[in-house]
Amino acid sequence: MVTPETIPDERLSRAVRAFLRQELQAPANAVTDFLDIMIEDARRSALDDVLPDLQRMHGASVQLNRFVKSIVEKSGGEDVESFESFHRRVRHDLRNPLNAIKGYSEMLIEDMPPEHALLGDLEKLKQSADRLLAQIDSMVKLWRPDDAGPQPSAREQHVVSNVLRTVEAIDAAHPLKGLGEGAAILVVDDNASNRDVLARRLAREGHAVTTAEDGPAALDLAAARRFDLILLDLIMPEMNGFEVLRRLKAAEATCDVPVIVISALDELDSVVRCIEAGAEDYLTKPFNPTLLSARVGASLERKRLHDKVVAQSADLAAWNRTLEQRVTDQVSEIERVGRLKRFLSPQIADLVVSSGGERVLESHRRAITVVFCDLRGFTAFSELTEPEEVMTVLREYHKVLGQLIHKHEGTVERFTGDGIMVFFNDPVPCTDPSLRAARMAVEMRAQVTALLEKWRKLGHELGFGVGIAHGYATLGPIGFEDRLDYGAVGTVVNLAARLCAEARNGQILIDPKVHAAIETQAEFELAGELTLKGIQRPVSTFNVVAMR
């Protein structure tokens, strides 16, 4: 039996006031809110025939709330009214407006067709009035001064016990723990009217609302799906809001879901305990709809920012996990490009790497245009000249030729002193290998001629010759594990080398295949048929005079 004598200290008045707010004031305020929504819907839908009765019911609900507020204020003060006075006020002052609301609801329901837009809301309003009338009878039982008469229900005693535990003072030295639209929101309240009003208001703001009538149902829903926000009543049977909040914050799946506590308790200790347990915010019943909307919007915005930070942290963690592999891959790619650039122009080397790696360099057969060039008289020059001067000449010579090889995207097969072998159409195919080779050779001749004049002034008598041939060859890596070059093997290589050896200073000798490929784009002079070492038949040769 819950009586004033069973409660040891001043917590009684605080508990009584909170209990009345929870069990009377909040439901009564929900009735008024519900009627506000119905009147708005009736006006929006031009249902003028029901507006007068709805407004009468609204007036009765305002009177009801005024009476409830008066009872709540007297219940917690020093001048606590007697049981007889409380009984009389509850029986008369509260039942009269409630009976008026119920009566108007019944009349409207009887007159409405089944398809009427407000029929469902009126039935809910009548049910709310019936529940509140039943609750008034339960209130009287909790204020009996002796054990005589009907006993309060187990639920009523449980609710009062929860209130008393809630308003227990906390240690002052105990420290605190540390506007979206279309959000998924869970509303938890054991009072059906409160749940419905909250759900309707939130749904009007574009949110997807799910409701739960008690703590266990709320926990099951929160575990089964993801919510952006939870509105939680504090005083509920079976499992109170504190326990629900504690379990939500303890579970990994729901610990980061913001919770706004909405309760009839307005004690500072209760607010502190909720914030300490992890609540995002705290609103007292009856709540202001505008304030509720603002608090919901602010909580959802903080949740959005929190989710963004979590996502960014996850991306950063994933990036860190793969950083070592990325570095390894990049170093490997740099090494591969470095190897390729030993015999490919930089742009061709980059293209080979970007197209899937060095598989294109595996042994294969392809038609290529081969260019051989060297300096005439270089052997005698190197025998009679100091090595330092020979190296200077070679550096100048290789610099000029190397720039032109890169410009025309040729592949360097080898450097052998003054001799250089370059080929086109491999490893990256091109449509005009012979034309590219001829243009490169003509530019080489022009720039090396300038060098020859410079060297001649230094006493170095040198010349420059080129041989070009087109045909099939086998291409691939040549060498051993620690030293590989990319080379070509075939008759076309030997033919180009022999043409180069036969070329006089300033000549660019080409075979018939190259001549046929560039005939319309160059000027030639016939060089005659040559019998070349290693070539069975005489070869018709041409000297490239200039490009057109």
Q: What is the 3-state secondary structure (H, E, C) of 169-200?
A: CCCCCCCCCCCCCCCEEEEECCCHHHHHHHHH
Backbone angles phi, psi at 227, to 5 degrees: -115, 150
CATH node for 4-166: 1.20.120
Q: DSSP code of 282?
A: E
Find the helix or strand (DSSP H, E) in which 268 lies: helix 268-277
- 295's CB contacts (< 8 A; 6+ apart) are 260, 281, 283
The DSSP bridge partners found for residue 185 are 209, 229
For residue 267, give both structure tokens: 């004690």
Backbone angles phi, psi at 116, to 5 degrees: -60, 140
Q: Under a CB-based contact definition with an 8 Å cutoff, are residues 540 and 499 in contact?
A: no
CA distance 406 to 421: 13
- According to the model, what pLDDT value does residue 150 have? 47
Long-range contacts of 173-180 (CB under 8 A, 24+ apart): 174/276, 176/272, 176/275, 176/276, 177/275, 177/276, 177/277, 177/278, 179/297, 179/298, 179/300, 179/301, 180/228, 180/297, 180/300, 180/301, 180/303, 180/304
- According to the model, what pLDDT value does residue 332 have? 73
For residue 436, give both structure tokens: 């590219």
CA distance 270 to 35: 31
Q: Under a CB-based contact definition with an 8 Å cutoff, are residues 398 and 434 in contact?
A: no
- According to the model, what pLDDT value does residue 16 have? 59
CA-to-CA dists, residue 304 to 234, 298, 309, 310, angstroms: 25, 10, 9, 10
CA-to-CA dists, residue 178 to 251, 255, 277, angstroms: 17, 14, 10
DSSP state string for 369-430: EEEEEEEETHHHHHHHS-HHHHHHHHHHHHHHHHHHHHHTT-EEEEEETTEEEEEESSSS--
Find the helix or strand (DSSP H, E) in which 137 lies: helix 119-141
Q: DSSP code of 13?
A: H
- According to the model, what pLDDT value does residue 171 have? 45
- Rg of the chain over Cα atoms, rounded to whole angstroms, equals 48
- According to the model, what pLDDT value does residue 148 have? 47
- According to the model, what pLDDT value does residue 6 have? 47
CA distance 508 to 163: 105
CA distance 116 to 119: 5
Q: DSSP code of 285?
A: S
CA distance 464 to 447: 10
From 173, 185, 157, select the one nearest 262 (Cα to Cα).
185
- Cα 345 → chain centroid: 41
From 534, 529, 465, select the one nearest 500 (Cα to Cα).
465
Q: CATH homologous superfamily for 184-304?
A: Response regulator (3.40.50.2300)
Is this prediction's pTM over 0.85? no
Q: Under a CB-based contact definition with an 8 Å cutoff, are residues 105 and 122 in contact?
A: yes
Residue found under tokens 């980059």:
350
- 399's CB contacts (< 8 A; 6+ apart) are none
- According to the model, what pLDDT value does residue 393 have? 95
CATH node for 346-547: 3.30.70.1230
From 109, 151, 115, 155, select the one nearest 131 (Cα to Cα).
155
Q: Under a CB-based contact definition with an 8 Å cutoff, are residues 234 and 279 in contact?
A: no
Tell me the three state secondary structure of residue 365: strand
- According to the model, what pLDDT value does residue 194 have? 83
Q: Under a CB-based contact definition with an 8 Å cutoff, are residues 28 and 132 in contact?
A: yes
Q: Where are the domains positioned within the chain?
A: 4-166, 184-304, 346-547
Q: Under a CB-based contact definition with an 8 Å cutoff, are residues 507 and 466 in contact?
A: yes
- According to the model, what pLDDT value does residue 18 have? 65
CA distance 449 to 462: 10
Query: Which stretches of the chain score pLDDT less than 50?
Result: 1-9, 145-150, 163-164, 167-179
For residue 15, give both structure tokens: 């508990």
Q: How many CB atoms lie within 10 A of CB 302?
A: 16
- 306's CB contacts (< 8 A; 6+ apart) are 256
CA-to-CA dists, residue 529 to 366, 460, 493, 537, angstroms: 27, 32, 19, 10
Each residue's pLDDT tens digit, 103-162: 888 888 988 898 888 888 888 888 888 888 887 777 666 555 444 444 555 555 555 555
| Bridge-based pairing state of the strands 411-416 and 281-284 | unpaired
- According to the model, what pLDDT value does residue 351 have? 62
